[in-house]
């Protein structure tokens, strides 16, 4: 293999790489919105962990204002958390 063959092969590889990147970018457009939503939700949860006092105050105010709703959602969240824990154990 001489130098021109190597240069030609390099150019082909660069073109193929550019084509693959363009195809990948086009194929991932369908999941960009769900991924962005997930990122926003994760950022919100991180904010709640970093600021527990406003979160607790909001929950307390909600519990005073709508206690039945808090109990219903509390049961749902607890059930979801327990299901997630069981799933983790099952997958481990």
Structural domain boundaries of the chain? 1-50, 52-92
Task: For residues 28 and 34, give the distance between their C-alpha atoms in angstroms, rounded to a whole number.
Answer: 11
pTM higher than 0.85: no
Task: For residues 28 and 13, give the distance between their C-alpha atoms in angstroms, rounded to a whole number.
Answer: 22
Q: Which residues contact 63 (CB under 8 A, 6 or more apart)?
A: 70
The per-residue pLDDT for range 30-78, each reduced to its tens digit, is 898 899 999 999 999 999 889 999 988 988 898 899 999 988 988 999 9
The per-residue pLDDT for range 1-32, each reduced to its tens digit, is 688 889 999 999 999 999 999 999 888 888 98
Residue-wise over 4-14: b if at least 16 C-beta within 10 A, else e? eeeeeeeeeee
């Amino acid at each position: 293999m001489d130098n021109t063959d190597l240069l030609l092969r390099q150019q082909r590889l660069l073109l193929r790489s550019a084509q693959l990147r363009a195809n990948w970018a086009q194929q991932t457009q369908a999941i960009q919105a769900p991924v962005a939503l997930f990122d926003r939700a994760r950022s919100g949860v991180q904010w709640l962990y970093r600021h527990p006092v406003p979160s607790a105050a909001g929950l307390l105010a909600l519990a005073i204002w709508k206690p039945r709703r808090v109990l219903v959602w509390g049961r749902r969240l607890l059930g979801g958390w327990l299901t997630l824990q069981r799933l983790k154990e099952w997958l481990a």
